[in-house]
Structure 1
Amino acid sequence: MKLSMRQVKYISEVARLGSILAAAEALNVSQSSIIAAINLAEGDMDARLFERRPSRGVTTTPAGDRFVSAAQGLLAAEAEFAKSISSLSGKNAAEIKIGCFEPFGSLFMPDLIRAYTNRVGTVDVALFEGDQTQLHRWLVSKTVDFVVAYDIGPSFNGNITPICRVPPHVMIACGDELEARDALSLSDIAERPLVLLDLPHTVTYLLALFDTVAICPRVGFRTRSYPTMSRAVAAGFGVSVLNMRPLLATEEDAGGVVRRPLIDDLPQPTLVVADAYGAQKPEYARFFIQVVREFFDAHGLPSAYETAYETPARAGIEPSQIMK
């Protein structure tokens, strides 16, 4: 069919108003333009779209009803397309779809998203929480606009923006004798059962930390859930090593656990934002990444561009000096 979207709109307006004259006045076009659109459509379909009734306007034929029904879907899609494209030129997209490393969902993502919406106004949000493998798949399939995750596991296709580094630390139960220490080393927990966050690529990274200091930990409890891991530590199943900590008061740390930094010189993953836009990001994407940077900077996490994180050992503090 050779009709333009404008001509489809002309015909739909005639059907809505029941009059070529009324449609011409509503659209501010000539009647001849509308009649030309109707003739072109009827020629392509080899069927009449309207029955002309002298002095009483027009009514749609069965073929006209089918045309108008299809046209409504087409025009609605055009309007949605125009809305989406228009939103790309500003800081506020109509909808934002974010994938995040699963533990981030309960640790800080609602607060991060609120920091964004406080700046841009109301936005429909879809949050997809998954492991590194799922996040990679969602970004490739365009299921999500952004991924907030660590730079471990398979490389994300698209553009990667480093945000901050996240040093590992230890989670122990309240009342544990180690709670009296300001900081710990992996050798301090070598004999303790390990409560392990058993997510793809995460488990490889966490166990590799012990390899760097020639320790083989005994895994006493495995779980894919961050809240469950926290509750298992609080219940006395062992200690846990992890990276991200709650940025605000959350349920995870309301259940009888405390955290202590590690003095060992250990690999630190970088928290990144991955997107599929590359260098030519729309304004809303650039602004979202800016908000993420500001959010973590405000919570004191070391920038990915700063010098190496200064653990007590790097600062020249001996292990004996970190006792309370």
Structure 2
Amino acid sequence: MNLSLRQVRYIATVADTGSIAAAARQCRIAHSSILAALSQAEAEAGARLFDRRPSRGVELTPAGDHFVASARRLLAAEAEFDRTLDRHTVGMPPVLRIGCFEPFGALFMPELLRRFTQGVDVEIELHEGEQPQLVDWLEANVVDAIVTYDIGPRLPDDATILAKVPAHALIRADDPLAQRSVVCLSELAQRPFILLDLPQSSAWLLALFDAAGPRPRIAFRTRSYETVRAAVVCGFGFSILNMKPIGRGSPDSDEVIRKPISDDVPVPRLMVADRYGAAKPLFLRRFTNVAQAFFNEVGPELTMARS
């Protein structure tokens, strides 16, 4: 195919934005350059790549879907080639791009990354997002690796497991349940629930109650881990979380208590994943090793609840 990488990128941008005009703005080129690249690509492919919808942008055809999937793999390979040159020059990328499940940014990622970059002059670019976003970023070469739970589709099969992270209840210190060594879901379900309302996480948290009886009434929804803690302190109800602050992570207020759950519930695992498989670059092998050592060291903190 006689398309240049630049033209391939133009077409991938049309697919991402859903509009030729939006792609032209994002690529900072003339509208005609996008049309020229598209016409040449369709001539080479022998098929229409997009259906034009007046006033509604464009939509990929089956042939276009196949073309763009291949284009993204090609562009990811180009980006990795550039990254490889960077690694050969300085031994490590000048910018380390790590994705993590959104709450992890405040709970432990800075400490983990500090250990990894100790003595190395490197810029950290931390991408905090939802589970589906993380996989998208990994596949699009936006990040070098992701740290997340093993929940949801499309996660790499060869991810490295760092720790098991059982669910626990977060309740106010003056709640009668705070005197218990463990709590059960049927009792918690009688109280209003503060939901960490992130995609996949919210469905997973609510499903925990299905085997124990009715789901609790949701009194408060938030996408923020910190807001969940504040809402518990302010008396909106209880919450269920998997992770707690580790090391230098922001500690809990004395007004909240974490309690293990007695029910037999699924235990998610914390993992680090990349897209390199057996060809993992040296710096990512080291990052994985540092992450494993970090969680081996703090392991007891993941399951111990303050009583």
Residue 272 of structure 2 aligns to a residue in which SS?
A: strand
Map of 1:156-167 to 2, 5 A cutoff?
A: 156-157=155-156, 159-167=158-166
Question: Alpha-carbon deviations, 1:262-308, whole Å to 9, x = none?
Answer: 111110111111101111111111110000111111001599xxxxx
Return the letter of the residue paired with 1:156.
Answer: L
Question: Alpha-carbon deviations, 1:173-193, whole Å to 9, x = none?
Answer: 122222212221112212100
Question: Hey, what does 2:106 align to over in structure 1?
Answer: 106
Question: Hey, what does 1:50 align to over in structure 2?
Answer: none
| Distance of 2:252 and 2:196 partners within structure 1 | 16
RMSD: 2.4
Question: Hey, what does 2:87 align to over in structure 1?
Answer: 85
| Distance of 2:236 and 2:179 partners within structure 1 | 19
* Unpaired runs of at least 5, structure 2: 1-81
| Distance of 2:242 and 2:156 partners within structure 1 | 24
For the structure 1 residues 250 and 174, does the alpha-carbon distance in structure 2 shift closer, same or farther, using more than 3 Å as the test?
farther
For the structure 1 residues 187 and 249, does the alpha-carbon distance in structure 2 shift closer, same or farther, using more than 3 Å as the test?
farther
| Distance of 2:84 and 2:93 partners within structure 1 | 12
Question: Hey, what does 1:186 align to over in structure 2?
Answer: 185
Displacement of 1:95: 2.0
Question: Hey, what does 2:280 align to over in structure 1?
Answer: 281
Residue 266 of structure 2 aligns to a residue in which SS?
A: coil
| Native 8 Å contact 1:150 1:270 kept in 2 | yes
Map of 1:27-176 to 2, 5 A cutoff?
A: 84-86=86-88, 90=91, 92-118=92-118, 121-157=120-156, 159-176=158-175
Return the letter of the residue paired with 1:94.
Answer: P
Residue 252 of structure 2 aligns to a residue in which SS?
A: helix
Question: What number of residue pairs does the alignment pair up?
Answer: 224
For the structure 1 residues 286 and 81, does the alpha-carbon distance in structure 2 shift closer, same or farther, using more than 3 Å as the test?
closer
Specify the structure having the higher radius of gyration (Cα).
Answer: 1
For the structure 1 residues 266 and 93, does the alpha-carbon distance in structure 2 shift closer, same or farther, using more than 3 Å as the test?
same
| Distance of 1:302 and 1:185 partners within structure 2 | 21
Displacement of 1:140: 0.9
Residue 300 of structure 1 aligns to a residue in which SS?
A: helix
For the structure 1 residues 99 and 255, does the alpha-carbon distance in structure 2 shift closer, same or farther, using more than 3 Å as the test?
farther
Residue 299 of structure 1 aligns to a residue in which SS?
A: helix
Q: Does 1:210 align with 2:212?
A: no
Shifted more, 241-250 versus 95-104: the winner is 241-250
| Native 8 Å contact 1:151 1:270 kept in 2 | yes
Return the letter of the residue paired with 1:85.
Answer: R
For the structure 1 residues 274 and 103, does the alpha-carbon distance in structure 2 shift closer, same or farther, using more than 3 Å as the test?
same
| Native 8 Å contact 2:184 2:263 kept in 1 | yes
Displacement of 1:117: 1.2
| Native 8 Å contact 2:186 2:213 kept in 1 | no
Question: Hey, what does 1:245 align to over in structure 2?
Answer: 244
For the structure 1 residues 199 and 290, does the alpha-carbon distance in structure 2 shift closer, same or farther, using more than 3 Å as the test?
same
Displacement of 1:259: 0.6
| Native 8 Å contact 1:150 1:269 kept in 2 | yes
Question: Hey, what does 1:259 align to over in structure 2?
Answer: 258
Question: Hey, what does 1:42 align to over in structure 2?
Answer: none
Return the letter of the residue paired with 1:264.
Answer: D
| Distance of 2:84 and 2:220 partners within structure 1 | 52
| Native 8 Å contact 2:111 2:248 kept in 1 | no
| Distance of 1:98 and 1:240 partners within structure 2 | 28
Question: Hey, what does 1:316 align to over in structure 2?
Answer: none
For the structure 1 residues 87 and 183, does the alpha-carbon distance in structure 2 shift closer, same or farther, using more than 3 Å as the test?
farther
Q: How high is the TM-score relative to the length of structure 1?
A: 0.64
Q: How high is the TM-score relative to the length of structure 2?
A: 0.68
| Native 8 Å contact 1:96 1:145 kept in 2 | yes
Displacement of 1:153: 1.4
| Native 8 Å contact 2:108 2:248 kept in 1 | no
Residue 155 of structure 1 aligns to a residue in which SS?
A: coil
Question: Hey, what does 1:52 align to over in structure 2?
Answer: none
Displacement of 1:159: 4.0
| Distance of 2:191 and 2:89 partners within structure 1 | 53
Q: Which runs of 4+ in 1 moved over 4 A?
A: 80-83
